Structure 1
Amino acid sequence: MSRLGTPRALIVFESMFGNTHKIALAIRDGLRDVITTELVRADQAPAEIPADVRLLVVGGPTHAFSLSRRSTRMQAAQQDQVMMPPETGIREWLQGLPDRTTQTTAVTFDTRVAKVRRLPGSAARSAGRLLRRRGFTLVAAPESFFVHDMTGPIEPGEIDRARAWGKELAAELKPQLGRRHHAQAVRYRGRY
């Protein structure tokens, strides 16, 4: 349960070079005016989705047209300044989740290299398929945010776009949560 005992959002992300983490932070900033939002790396994410989580946001970098695998994370780990250990990513975390037993809905996002925007494959779409297999209802289309190169930096305007996407998700959640929860989220947002 969250500290407030009220509905919350959970963002689970994977990030090797920090770009997806920055996008996840911006999405959190967009959400947290309406709902208490927790951000956690995939290798530290809960084995089950807590009952008070109303929205699960899952994001990671697109590696080889899909979610990363241990082998692609090992290749990335050979670069300098890697943020996460390569053992557990979004793919492994999602595969280990039990089928949905709560009212949690889900959305997915990814980061991908800007110069290959039109190529098929997306970590967000792959994550969405795994979530649907577990019984989650996806409430928005997968969203991609763009980086200049594999290690970054994030393309201009993408942080603002991620924050705006979080606000859009929050606006869709607001009617389900009611005024009382919104007031609590605003009052406590500095703590999370």
Structure 2
Amino acid sequence: MRALVVFESLWGNTEQVARAVAAGLGESAEVEVVDVREAPALPDGVDLVVAGGPTHAFSMTRASTRADAVKQGAPHGTGEPGLREWLEAQPRTGHHRIATFDTRVTKVHRLPGSAARSAARSARKHGYAVATEPTSFYVDDTAGPLADGELERATAWGRELARL
């Protein structure tokens, strides 16, 4: 199996999760991990796309929420595209499977809205088959760090994705 993990990360937390997911996938698959700002259009031969980004304002980031993150000190917050724009730019396809994840602050565990669910909806509109339910990973505060055990959970999720 060949997988492409695409992530958007403003504070570095989502990138850590993406790399942990890739480590789990990589135990039984060929995996490439790419920042969304450098991600190509989907190449042929990719069996699974894993896409993740932070939840901002109950959804995927927008230019305005990325700008707000930069004002708050996000070290990786500049640049386009974000995950939303990357997904929208992908060609309509019927042969790629996708799994989506997000990072969110622990204190908003139960609030509605999720970048992962929004990304899955966008991917479905582009003809992707959603491989599994969108998944959230938690950070203790906006800038992080990741909550205890989240990197291990991300690696385990990557292993599960490889078995799908």
Give TM-score scaled by structure 2 length.
0.96
SS for the counterpart of 1:107 is strand
> Do 2:98 and 2:128's aligned partners in 1 also have CA atoms closer than 8 Å?
yes
Q: Which has the higher helix share?
A: 1
Q: 1 CA distance for matches of 2:74 and 2:104?
A: 19
> What is the number of equivalent residue pairs in this alignment?
164
Deviation at 1:87, TM superposition (A): 2.5
Q: 2 CA distance for matches of 1:97 and 1:69?
A: 17
1:11 counterpart = 2:5: yes
Pick the aligned partner of 1:27 from 21, 24, 30. Answer: 21
SS for the counterpart of 1:50 is coil
Segments of 5+ residues of structure 1 without an aligned counterpart are 1-6, 173-192
**Counterparts in 2 of 1:28 and 1:82: CA distance versus 1, 3 Å:** same
SS for the counterpart of 1:53 is coil
**Match for residue 160 of structure 2?**
168
**Match for residue 70 of structure 1?**
63
Pick the aligned partner of 1:125 from 117, 131, 141. Answer: 117
Give TM-score scaled by structure 1 length.
0.83
Larger CA Rg, structure 1 vs 2: 1
| CA RMSD between the two structures | 1.1
Segments of 5+ residues of structure 2 without an aligned counterpart are none
Deviation at 1:79, TM superposition (A): 3.1
How do 1:29-178 and structure 2 match up within 5 A? Answer: 29-46=23-40, 48-80=41-73, 82-100=75-93, 103-172=95-164
> Do 1:14 and 1:84's aligned partners in 2 also have CA atoms closer than 8 Å?
no
SS for the counterpart of 2:47 is strand
State percent identity of aligned pairs: 49
Q: 2 CA distance for matches of 1:92 and 1:73?
A: 12
- Stretches of 4+ aligned residues off by more than 4 angstroms: none
